[in-house]
């Protein structure tokens, strides 16, 4: 077992890079355009310092939290990433089962290679949320929402940062497409479930021809009217938008820039987080994804006001290296590193992790 001795998430990324075919690896790894935001998501965490407190009894740590009314033991979940069967044959099933073992939250992408129903059947007792892209054809959209609700998904995660597709140069060069044995399982029989990269990225053509670029806050209201599932808006990056969401009664926001894959040079998620938390106060739950690779990153996000964090690529690297076991190990490493960060900074529960423990490196220069 190659992963048995792995100590950190980076090792999974390195091995995945050796294992995956180039066009799929490029699809998973890339960000849009200059990839500035992609890099910033990680580097922004490293510019923050944790000021630790000593001599507190840290023998017992309590990491549980309540998310949309459900108690979960650890504030680390898995973000939606499309087409997980490119990483390993069991794809989404392996990923959701790994999350099931942590009793945390798994978010299934609209563009999955396993259907809503099959994911639900594989992990019936796990908290699953469904990530939605709004199709121009609203019957397709309605169909996806009602199937997720019927299958027991507990929240609807509307991705708001992808009204058009962020250009990823590598996918354009590779003419990225799905191999013949895979398809977009949720769209089978109701829309095109495959795509080809005849000119540039096939996924880019798919998204730009089928997803609805006209969506506005009215569509958020529309979604609220067609489902009982609570809404999570994924991809909010400003206090202004966060306030609109809170005013509309949206219960949760995920601060995210789509892993640096949409608007290049927009802020890192961790940079955008504080103004959003300040803007909404207790009116919405705020989560974060983007660039989480170490337990200390999770600590910083919680300190700056996130209720929980999600990881996209780290789970994909785990899948690529060793399927379900790989994701389990990635999540275990992140949990243990987070607990170590708590203990070494004198925090025994999440509410001990306070904003004033985080200092930006620039403030030391003065």
Residues lying near ligand FNR in the complex (CB under 6 A): 27-28, 41, 79-82, 109, 111, 131, 159, 234, 256, 258-259, 261, 289-292, 311-313, 316
Other Cβ atoms closer than 10 A to 251: 16
Question: Distance (Å, rounded) from C-alpha 260 to C-alpha 269?
Answer: 9
Q: Write down the least CB distance from residue 348 to ligand FNR, Å.
A: 27
Q: 95-117 in b/e burial notation, b at 16+ Cβ within 10 A? A: bbbbbbebebbbbbbbbbbbbbe
Q: What are the DSSP calls for 146-163, one per residue?
A: HHHHHTT--EEEEE-S-S
Query: Number of helices (H) and strands (E), helices first, in the chain?
Result: 13, 12
* Burial bucket for residue 219 (CB in 10 Å: 0-12, 13-18, 19+): middle
Region of 20 (left: φ > 0; alpha: ψ -120 to 50; beta: rest) is: beta
CB 170, min distance to ligand FNR, A: 12
Nearer to ligand FNR, 258 or 335 (CB): 258
The nearer residue to ligand FNR, 6 or 176, going by C-beta atoms, is 176
CB of 248 to ligand FNR, least distance (A): 20
Q: Which residue is nearest to ligand FNR (CB)?
A: 312
Closer residue to ligand FNR, CB minimum distance, 271 or 289? 289
Of 92 and 289, which has the nearer Cβ to ligand FNR?
289
Coil/strand/helix, residue 261 = coil
Distance of CA 233 to CAs 15, 183, 245, 364, Å?
33, 26, 8, 35
Of these residues, 234, 258, 261, 335, which one is catalytic?
Answer: 258
Minimum distance between the CB of residue 256 and ligand FNR, rounded to whole angstroms? 4
- Cα 253 to chain centroid, rounded: 12
Minimum CB separation from ligand FNR for residue 314, in Å? 6
Annotation says 258 is catalytic: yes
Q: How many CA atoms lie within 13 A of 119 on its CB side?
A: 36
Nearer to ligand FNR by Cβ, of 265 and 351: the residue is 265
Residues whose CB falls within 8 Å of the CB of residue 100, separated by 6 or more in sequence, listed in order = 106, 123, 125, 126
Q: Which is nearer to ligand FNR, 251 or 346 (CB)?
A: 251
Min dist. Cβ of residue 334 to ligand FNR (A): 11
Active site residues: 258
């Amino acid at each position: 077992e190659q992963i048995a001795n792995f100590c950190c998430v980076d090792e999974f990324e390195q091995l995945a890079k050796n294992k995956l075919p180039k066009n799929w690896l490029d699809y998973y790894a890339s960000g849009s355009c200059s990839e500035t935001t992609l890099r910033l998501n990680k580097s922004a965490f490293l510019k923050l310092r944790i000021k630790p407190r000593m001599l507190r009894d840290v023998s017992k740590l309590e990491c549980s939290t309540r998310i949309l009314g459900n108690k979960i033991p650890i504030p680390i979940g898995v973000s939606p990433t499309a087409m997980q069967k490119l990483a390993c044959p069991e794809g989404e099933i392996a990923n959701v089962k790994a999350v099931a073992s942590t009793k945390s939250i798994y978010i299934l992408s609209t563009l999955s290679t396993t259907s809503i129903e099959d994911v639900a059947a594989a992990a019936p007792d796990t908290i699953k949320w469904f990530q939605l892209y709004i199709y121009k054809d609203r019957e397709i959209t309605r169909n996806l929402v009602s199937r997720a609700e019927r299958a027991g998904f507990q929240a609807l995660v509307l991705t708001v940062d992808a009204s058009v597709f962020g250009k990823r140069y590598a996918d354009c060069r590779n003419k990225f497409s799905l191999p013949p044995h895979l398809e977009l399982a949720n769209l089978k029989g109701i829309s095109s479930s495959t795509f080809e990269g005849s000119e540039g990225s096939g996924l880019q053509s798919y998204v730009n021809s089928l997803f609805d670029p006209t969506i506005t806050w009215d569509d958020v209201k529309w979604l609220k009217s067609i489902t009982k599932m609570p809404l999570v808006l994924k991809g909010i990056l400003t206090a202004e938008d966060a306030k609109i969401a809170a005013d509309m009664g949206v219960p949760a926001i995920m601060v995210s820039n789509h892993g640096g894959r949409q608007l290049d040079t927009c802020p890192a998620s961790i940079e955008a987080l504080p103004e959003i938390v300040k803007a909404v106060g207790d009116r919405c739950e705020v989560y974060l994804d983007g660039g989480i690779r170490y337990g200390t990153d999770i600590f910083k996000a919680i300190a700056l006001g996130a209720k929980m964090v999600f990881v996209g690529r780290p789970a994909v690297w785990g899948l690529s290296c060793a399927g379900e076991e790989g994701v389990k190990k990635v999540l275990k490493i992140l949990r243990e590193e987070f607990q170590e960060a708590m203990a070494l900074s004198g925090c025994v529960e999440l509410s001990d992790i306070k904003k004033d423990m985080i200092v930006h490196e620039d403030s030391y220069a003065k």
